[in-house]
Structures are given as C-alpha cells and as structure tokens.
Structure 1
Amino acid sequence: MQVEIFQDSKELASSTAQFIINMVREKPTATFILTSGDTPVQTYKKIVELAQANDFAQATFIGLDEWVGIPATSEGSCRYIVEENLLKPLNINPAQYTFFDSMTDDLQSECERVDKLLFEKGGADLILVGVGLNGHIGLNEPGTSFDLYCHVSALAEITKTTGQKYFKQGTELTQGITIGLKHLLEAGTAIMIATGEKKAEVIKEVVIQEPNINFPATVFKLHKNGHIWVDKAAASLLQ
C-alpha cells in the first residue's frame, strides 16, 4: 500500500484523472469500477476536460454501489453522479457501462449479474473508491468479510446519516448493494481518494491498523497494487 499526499483536492483530482487517462491509453479495453460521492466528482470533471474524444471508446465502466430502493434517476444514486459528471459528458455509449439495479425484486440475481461481468472481463483493471467515516469502502460496512464478491449490505447508522447529504430531502436508507472487497483485491490497481480534515482520522486509522474486517479500508494493505491518495488536510494526522 502506497500513500501519496497532494497539495490540495485540485491537485489530487488532476493527478487521478491523468492516471486514469494514461491507463486507458495503454489499454483501450480497460475495465473501471467507479465510485460516486463528493470526492471523485472533481476527478471526473478533470477527466472530461483532459480526455480526447475516443480515449474511452472501448472501455467498460461499472458502478461501485447503490442505495437499495433508490432509483437511478435520483440525484443521490451512484449511476446519476457518475453519468452526469463523467459518462454523459464523454458521450460514452450506455452499452459500455453497468450499474446495479437497486429497484429490482431479486437483489441476489443482480449481484450475480455484475459478478459475471467482472469475471468475464478478468476482473477490473482499476477500482476507484472513497472511504466512509467508519472505514467503509463502497457499501462494505464494518464486519464485512474481505472474501465477498458483490452482495447486499445492511447500512450502518453513520452511513444512513451521512448519506442524506446526497439528497435534497430526507430519504430512508436501509440497505446497499455493492461491489465486494474480493473484487477490490483482485483488481489490477486499487486507488482510494480522500480529501479534507474530516477524513484525517480515517486515513490515520487505515495507516496504523493491521488489516481487519472491522475497518474495511484496511483491505488496502493486502492489495498488491493499492494506493491511498489524499490531500494535505486528509493527511494532517499522519506522522
């Protein structure tokens, strides 16, 4: 696991964007698992700014997670955030991307569908994630096995609370459907990005703790090519 500290969120976003563009130029058929949330939006906008028209013409995109019961058209869904900030501005063909159907009556089949796609692709070339205040990755909450592929999770109380920021009005959040940590471990490259002082304690814990399921972000210590990229504020508690 390598930790890299950037001056600010702008520099972090530019570096992450360029890394992703360089990867797809080296491997045009690359498979990317992408997160939603506040932190990556700046990266996605920078990719749109820097990428050439056909850079991602053969790439595959998979959404990291979704809130169960929240439609894809909701401003708080992973699909909405990634589509609006990256895929649509890049004119990516919808046939190139997949997100969990969080409205289905058969969540297990939905997990198996996304698993199958990732297995067919030989795993992701890159998984880009943020990190929750409780150390969650995607919607893999504390206590989640590192050996799980796609699965449905019961949301922690802090996730239900902080998740409200993505919605214009109060929204009941109970479960998530998410890429599992085993897919993360099997990805060619895994990058966690974090910005701001509110993530400083989380980043400190990732660095000092041994890998353990009670702090899912520590899974990065087991990854053969795992990167923690943070701005100075998020790194402020590191020695």
Structure 2
Amino acid sequence: MQIQTFQNPEQLAIHTAQFIIDLVRNNPKATLILTSGDTPVLTYKKIVELAQPADFEEVTIIGLDEWVGIPATSEGSCRYIVEENLLKPLKIGPKQYTFFDSISNDLQAECERVDKLLFEKGGADLIIVGVGVNGHIGLNEPGTSFDNYCHVSDLAEITITVGQKYFTENTTLTQGITIGLKHLLEAKSAILIATGERKADILKETVEQEPNTELPATVFKLHSNSYIWLDEAAAKLI
C-alpha cells in the first residue's frame, strides 16, 4: 500500500487521470472497474481533457456499484455519473461497458453476470474506488467478507444519509449491488482516492489498523499493488 499526498483535489485528479491514461496506452484492452461519487468526477473530467478517444477504443469498463431500485437514468446512479463525465465525452460505446442493472428482478443473476465477465477477463487491470466515512469501499459495508465477489449489500444508515446528496429529492435507499472485495484483491492494481477533511478520520484509522472486515478500506493493506492518493485535507491526520 503506497500513500501519496497532493496539494489539492485538482493535482490529485491530474495525477490519477494520467495514471489511467498511461495504463490504457500500455494495455489498450485493459479492464477497468470505475467508481462514481464526487471525488472521481474531477478525475474523469481530466481524462477527457488529457486523453484521445482512440486511447479508450478497446477498453472494457465495469461500474463499481449501484443503488438497488434506482434506474440507470437517475442522476444519482453510478452509470449516469460515469457516462456523463467520462464515457459520452470520450465517445466510448455501450458495447465496451457494463453496469449493474439495479432494478433487475434477479439481482443474484446480475452479480453472476458481472462475476463471469471479470473471470473471463482474468480480473480487472485496475479498480479505482473512493471511501465512505464509515470505511466502506464500493457498497461493501463494515462487516463484509474480503472473500466476497459481486453481491447485494444492506446499506448502513450513514451510507443512506450521505447518499441523499446525489439526488434532487429524498430517495429511499436500502440496499446496494456491488463489486466485492475479492475482485479488488484480484485486480492487478487498486487505487483509493479521497479528498476533504471529512475523510481524514477514517483514513487515519485505515492506515493505523490491521486489515479487518469492520473497516473495509483496510483491504488495501492486503493488496500487493495498491495506492492511496489523497489531498492534503484528507491526509491531515496521517
């Protein structure tokens, strides 16, 4: 686990964007698991600024997670955020990417579908995630086994509360469907990005604690090629 601090969110985003661009230029058929949320949006915008559409012509992109029951057209969905800020601007076609169908009548089949794709690809070449204020990764809440592949999770109250910021009106959130931490451990490289003082406490705990399922972010300590990239505010207690 390599920790690096950047002066501000923009410098972090530029660094992360260039890392991803270099990866796909060296491996044009790379498989990327991409997160949504506030922090990665700036990274995606920097990729659009710095990359050429041709760089991403052969990549496979998989969405990290989705709120169960929320359609892909919702502005709060993972798919919507990644599509609008990265995929559409780079003209990455729908055949190259997949997200969980969180309104499916068979969520277990959705988990198996994405598992199968990742197994066929030999695992992800890169997974990029954020971290929740309770240490969740994706929608892998505290208590989630590190041995899980894709699965449906019951959301913690803090996740439900914070999740409201992605929606224009109060939205019922109870479960998530997510890439499991086993897929993260099997990815060739894993990056956690975080910005802002609100993440400082949980990042301090992540750095200080031994790997344990009550703090999912500590899974990064078990990965042989993992990075934690923070702005100065998020890193203030480390």
Question: TM-score over 0.5 for the alignment?
Answer: yes
Identify unmatched segments of 5+ residues in structure 2.
Answer: none
Matched residue of 1:211: which SS? coil
Identify unmatched segments of 5+ residues in structure 1.
Answer: none
1:112-148 CA deviation, whole Å, 9 max, x = no partner?
A: 0000000000000000000000000000000000000
Give the aligned CA root-mean-square deviation in angstroms. Answer: 0.3
So what's the TM-score if we normalise by structure 2? 1.00
Aligned equivalent of 1:116: 116
Aligned equivalent of 2:219: 219
1:38-92 CA deviation, whole Å, 9 max, x = no partner?
A: 0000000000000012000000000000000000000000000000000000000
Note the 1:1-239 alignment, pairs <5 A: 1-238=1-238
* Alpha-carbon distance between aligned partners in 2 of 1:53 and 1:90, rounded to the nearest angstrom: 5
Read off the aligned partner of 2:139 and give its amino acid letter.
L
Number of residues of Structure 1 aligned to a counterpart in Structure 2: 238
The alpha-carbon deviation at position 202 of structure 1 amounts to 1.1
1:136-172 CA deviation, whole Å, 9 max, x = no partner?
A: 0000000000000000000000000000000000000
* Alpha-carbon distance between aligned partners in 2 of 1:133 and 1:52, rounded to the nearest angstrom: 35
1:98-118 CA deviation, whole Å, 9 max, x = no partner?
A: 000000010000000000000
Matched residue of 2:90: which SS? coil
Identity %: 76
* Alpha-carbon distance between aligned partners in 2 of 1:129 and 1:196, rounded to the nearest angstrom: 15
Matched residue of 2:177: which SS? strand
* Alpha-carbon distance between aligned partners in 2 of 1:9 and 1:87, rounded to the nearest angstrom: 21
Runs of 4+ in 1 over 3 A off after TM superposition: none
